Amino acid sequence: MNIKVIVVGKLKEKYLKQGITEYAKRLSKFCNFEIIEVNDEQAPEKLSIAEMEQVKVVEGDRILLKIKDKEYVFVLAIKGKERTSEEFATELNKLTVYGTSDITFVIGGSLGVSKKVMERANSEISFGRFTLPHQLMRLVLTEQIYRSFMINIGSPYHK
Residues 94 and 122: beta-carbon distance below 8 Å: no
Sign of CA dihedral 84, 66, 22, 28: positive
In whole angstroms, give the CA distance from residue 46 to residue 93.
43
Helices first, then strands: H and E counts in the chain: 5, 5
Minimal CA–CA distance to 83: which of 30, 134, 141?
A: 141
Chain CA centroid to CA 146, Å:
13
Q: Does 108 belong to an annotated binding site? A: yes
The amino acid occupying position 16 is: L
Q: Does 136 belong to an annotated binding site? A: no
Mark the binding-site residues, compressed into ranges.
Answer: 76, 108
| Binding-site residue set for S-adenosyl-L-methionine | 76, 108
